[in-house]
Chains A and B, each alone.
Chain A
Amino acid sequence: MIMDRLARALDDRLRLSPLTRRALAKVFPDHWSFMLGEIALYSLVALVLTGVFLTLFFDPSSADRVYHGSYAPLEGTTTSAAYASTMRLSWDVRAGLLIRQTHHWAALIFVAAILVHLVRIFFTGAFRKPREANWLVGVTMLMLALANGFTGYSMPDDLLSGLGLRIIVSVVESIPVVGSRLVSLGLGGEFPSDEMIPRLFVTHVLLVPAALVALVSVHLAMIVRQKHTQFPGPGRTEHNVVGSRLYPSYSLRSLALLAWVLAVLFALGGLVQINPVWLYGPFDPAQATSPAQPDWYVAWGDGALRLFPPWEIRLAGHLVPAPFFPGVVLGGVTFLALYAWPFLERWCTGDRRAHQLLDRPRDHPIRTGVGVTALTFFAVLVVAAGDDIIARLLRVPVYDVLNVLRVMVLVLPLLTGALAVLLARALRRSEATHLGDLTRADLRAARRPARADERTTADEPELPAPDRPGERIELWPDGEQWRWRYRNEPAGVAILGNRKAPTEREAADSARLAYPGVDHVMVPGPPPPPPHPVRAALRRWATTAIGASLLAAALRHRRRRRWGRNGPRPK
């Protein structure tokens, strides 16, 4: 009752109902892969919430501080204020360690979710026109996420983070001409400088998060404006979105996902130790931890630094040191390629049309091959970041592992990429729906290069509606309003328009937009209920029937065994 009146009062002043009516009925496609970006969003929510708590206790300063606290081994030692406050936060602030560990886990999952989301967008071609701008925003957010992960990791001023920061500083320093000046500008002096931690802090808690939140808003606003893509299917066209509505279905499911993300993060934060800074000890330029591995999302850079051979270039008395190539060039090329991909692909395929229907990975073998190649390459680099651990586990010399990985990082991506192209072609040319259905003949056929007619199938315009018999739009009055639905009798598909329309004309207009060229018919009243309850009832009947027959079979089997009718009793 109160909610009713509040809603009315707001509406009378802001005229929200026309907007809200459409917004609540917004349709989201029902496919799990559309939830990956949401996991990233909710990890960001967790990061902001836990991060605010942490800022209240963290002291971003490299001034000397004598540590007094519950962790006895360091009692009375002089460390930086940053390290001492991190120790206090972990040992003496109630729930401090839980929040700190949850924050760290949330950062790992945040980047992972962004990456998996990016992979989904890439392999399904969701970045194509009109969504190139949103791809650019997304790649920028990935970069910002990496930057914030690294600044956060470096702030506690423990030994491991100090090593990591020193490596990054060395990589920046390797940039020709400007490297040393960039480091000087960033740190306000040589590593380790007194300005370092305050600058990392303001970058980590203000600059990058502000940019991230702004870009997330842009990302979401563009999604709302452009609507979701969808996989091809019955009743799905380039002119509509088929799925469930924002309210009530997706609001509940999305909140459930938020709660899931928080549940997993708090479980990890509470139960799985991460970044135990007290074990590493405070930063000391003369000390190192071993083994030293970074967080997973910078491991590719660390792996590349390990694998790259000791090649340096001397140019007229100047030096281009080895870390420049695996550090700066690889990172730059990676992100440049990500930014450029939608435009590169359009340039190569000549496909300039707008796409609302997604590709499946098999529909575009070359893109799939390139993606698999890149993923394998980076996966080998991530593995290479643990070469010392692998060597220890396998009890082989670390340089043997290194040499094997050096070969693998060049060979394996090409092999997996070629395999991906082959499988995608085979799937596309055969009747198989899954990888497991492929026969040897399919694979042999896939070795032939693409035929000209295959290349054009992607560009084939949609079938005009008259060629698809059995389709129709049904319109009917529902009280004062009108509703419509799409019906394809032979395919057994009935899809309801997502909202009521105030006039018949408006209903017909939406239907015409969603299914251009499909005939409209007027029906007297609401059609029989959608097939879901029937299907559910059938399923229930089927389960009961199967259960009953299994039970009966079991009983009969037992009876038979007891009476020994069919031969001797088993022991």
Chain B
Amino acid sequence: MRRPRVAPAPPGVNGRIILSFLVSAAGAIGFAVTYGLGGQTQWEGVCLAVAFAGLAIGLAIWGRRLVPVGGYVEEHEGFPPPPEEQAMVAAVLTAPDSPVRRRGLLAALGLALTALGVAALFPLRSLLPSDRTRPVRAREVTPWGPGVRLLNADGRPLRPGDIPAGSVVTVFPEGGADAGDAPAFAVRLRPERFTRPPSAGHLDGLVVYSLLCTHAGCPVRLYLKGTGRLLCPCHQSSFDLFADAQPVAGPAARRLPGLPIEADADGYLRATGGFTAPPGAGYWSRP
């Protein structure tokens, strides 16, 4: 059998395609060499990009210059199918011996499948926490409670004197520092500047609040010193520490829960109870 002759290419096209593929091969080799020499992210990326770009350019020229582009038409049978065909399928599906005609059996089958489907949902419950705490209860309970001492980030218990005026110190509960709802901060303010007394009380101007924004739970990390305002870096809610951490701007609607504190016999700071409200974002059953 005689093979048909290869169609002649326009001048220069073959050369350009071959050059592109050679560049691509060079890129691939460059990647392999870079990798072999110990790897370097930027060079690896560039070499792979060159390898694929060469491939792309060669294939694109080939697809555009050496084969026919456009000018073809394919018929569209259209929808729906011819009515007789539809009728024949319908006839087969509803023949006298067809399962769809046995209504009683179908109902029983449906019942069995529904029961099976519902039963199959039960193991989803295994995804719940193994200790079986009710989620709402879990939200209300934090590691803070009467007598829990305040630790700093290094795990050292704090005395009132460790909180300098005008700066915010992140504090953690002793024995529960890793809990997600535990972070709080202590700050020393001048009591005469309070425009609204702190709901959890204060110790000579020393107040402790939950660190978690009441909007979406981000830590309210940015302290604007002179104004006594705390800013959340996530959505820019701002809280006024002189006014019992009321939200003053941004999307937060509730104040930060406070933590009642006292100094124990050794002079260390400790909580006299939990937060005045569950910390963090709001939820349906929030008291």
Q: Do A and B come from one complex?
A: yes
Identify the A interface with B (CB < 8 A). Answer: 25-27, 30, 94-95, 97-98, 101-102, 130, 163, 166-167, 169-171, 173-181, 183-186, 188-193, 226-227, 235, 238-245, 248-253, 255-260, 262-264, 266-271, 285-292, 302, 305-312, 318-323, 354, 356, 387-388, 398-399, 402, 485-486, 494-499, 510-511, 513-514, 530, 532, 536
Nearest to A293 among chain B residues (CB) is B234
Q: How far is the CB of B30 from chain A (nearest CB, A)?
A: 12
Chain A residue contacts of B60, Cβ below 8 A: 252-253, 256, 260
Interface centre among B58, B73, B180, B211 (most CB of A within 10 A): B73
Partner of B135, one of A180, A398, A511, A530: A180
Contacts of B282 in A (CB 8 A): 173-174, 312, 319, 321-323
**Nearest CB in chain A to that of B249: its residue:** A399
Q: Once the chains bind, are A130 and B216 in contact (CB under 8 Å)?
A: no
Say whether, besides A130-B79, A248-B63, A306 and B236 are in contact (CB < 8 Å): yes
The answer to whether B44 touches A270 (Cβ under 8 A) is yes
A sample of 6 more A-B contacts (CB under 8 A), given A167-B218, A170-B281, A184-B128, is A241-B76, A256-B57, A263-B55, A310-B250, A310-B251, A323-B282
B76 touches A252 (CB 8 A): no
Contact A180 B284 (CB under 8 A): yes
Find chain A residues with CB under 8 A from B48 CB: 98, 262-263, 266, 270
For residue A272, which residue of chain B has the nearest CB? B45
CA distance A486 to B281 in the complex (A): 67
Of A185, A245, A312, which one neighbours B127 at CB under 8 angstroms? Answer: A185
Which of the segments B34-42, B99-107, B194-202 contacts the partner chain? B34-42
The verdict on B139 contacting chain A, using a C-beta distance below 8 Å, is: yes
Q: Is the CB of B73 within 8 A of A497?
A: yes
Per-position 1/0 for B45-74, Cβ under 8 A of A: 110111111011111101110011111111
Whether the Cβ atoms of B74 and A166 lie closer than 8 Å is no
How close is A513's CB to chain B, nearest CB, in angstroms? 4
Chain B, Cβ-Cβ closest to A262 = B52
Contact B73 A323 (CB under 8 A): no
In the bound complex, residues from chain B placing their C-beta under 8 Å from that of A192 are 180
Q: Which residues of B sit under 8 angstroms from A174, Cβ to Cβ? A: 281-283
Q: Which of A287, A511, A530 contacts B219 (CB 8 A)?
A: A287
Asked if A244 meets B233 with Cβ closer than 8 Å, knowing A171-B216, A270-B42, the reply is no
Collect the chain A residues with CB atoms within 8 Å of residue B15's CB. Answer: none
What 0/1 pattern do residues 133 to 168 of B give for CB contact below 8 A with A? 001101100000000000001000000000000000
B241 CB within 8 Å of chain A: no
Smallest beta-carbon distance B256→chain A, Å? 14
Q: Which 7 pairs show the lowest CB-CB distances between chains A and B? A: A270-B45, A321-B282, A252-B63, A170-B281, A290-B233, A263-B52, A259-B56
What separation, in Å, do the CA atoms of A310 and B49 have in the docked complex? 48
**A239 pairs with B75, CB closer than 8 A:** yes
| Residue contact A179 to B283, C-beta cutoff 8 Å | yes
Check A271/B286 contact, CB under 8 A, given A256-B59, A286-B172: no
* Closest A residue to B238 using CB positions: A399
Q: Residue B280 at the A interface, CB < 8 A?
A: yes
A177/B233 in contact, CB under 8 A: no
Question: Which residue of chain B is the closest to A170 with respect to CB atoms?
Answer: B281
User: A184-B128, A305-B235 are known contacts. Are A248 and B67 too (CB-CB below 8 A)?
Assistant: yes
CB distance from A362 to the nearest CB of B (A): 24
Q: B258 within 8 Å of A by Cβ?
A: no
Contact A94 to B71, CB < 8 A, known contacts A177-B284, A249-B63: no
B77: interface (CB < 8 Å)? yes
Q: How large is the interface on B (under 10, 10 to 19, 20 to 34, 35 or more residues)?
A: 35 or more
Q: Give the most central of B10, B78, B179, B215: most A CB within 10 Å.
A: B215
The residue of chain B having its C-beta at the shortest distance from the C-beta of A511 within the complex is B75
Q: Give, as a whole number of angstroms, the nearest-CB distance from B23 to chain A.
A: 11
User: Which residues in A have their C-beta under 8 angstroms from that of B51?
Assistant: 263
A286 touches B52 (CB 8 A): no
Closest to A391 in B: B236
> B233–A269 contact, CB under 8 A?
no
Q: Are A240 and B76 touching (Cβ within 8 A)?
A: yes
Q: A174-B283, A267-B49, A323-B281 are in contact. Are A495 and B71 (CB under 8 A)?
A: yes
Report if B253 contacts A (CB, 8 A): yes
A-B contact pairs, 29 of them (CB 8 A): A95-B35, A98-B41, A166-B218, A169-B217, A170-B215, A173-B282, A177-B284, A184-B129, A227-B74, A242-B70, A244-B68, A249-B67, A252-B59, A259-B55, A260-B53, A263-B50, A263-B53, A263-B55, A267-B49, A268-B45, A285-B219, A286-B170, A289-B233, A290-B233, A306-B236, A321-B253, A354-B78, A402-B250, A497-B74
Closest chain-B Cβ to A27's Cβ sits at a distance in Å of 4
Given known contacts A306-B251, A388-B236, A497 and B215 CB-to-CB distance under 8 angstroms:
no
Residue B285 lies at the interface, judged by CB distance under 8 Å to chain A: yes
Which of B43, B55, B130, B136 is close to A180, meaning CB atoms less than 8 Å apart? B136
A174→B281 CA distance, assembly (Å): 8
Contact B217 A166 (CB under 8 A): yes
The answer to whether B221 and A244 have CB atoms under 8 Å apart is no
Q: Provide the bound-state CA to CA distance between A320 and B48, in Å.
A: 51
B249 — which chain A residues lie within 8 A by C-beta? Answer: 399, 402
Contacts of A252 in B (CB 8 A): 59-60, 62-63, 67
- A398 CB to closest chain B CB (Å) equals 5
Is B71 touching A309 in the complex (CB atoms < 8 A)?
A: no
Q: Which residue of A lies closest to B68 (CB)?
A: A249
CB closest residue in chain A, given B124: A185
Mark interface residues in B225-241 (1 if CB within 8 Å of A CB, else 0): 00000001111110000
Are A263 and B49 closer than 8 Å at their CB atoms? yes
Within 8 A of A (CB), among B234-286: 234-237, 247, 249-254, 280-286
B217 CB to closest chain A CB, in angstroms?
4
> Taking CB as reference atom, which chain A residue is nearest B56?
A259
| CA gap between A176 and B284 in the complex, in Å | 5
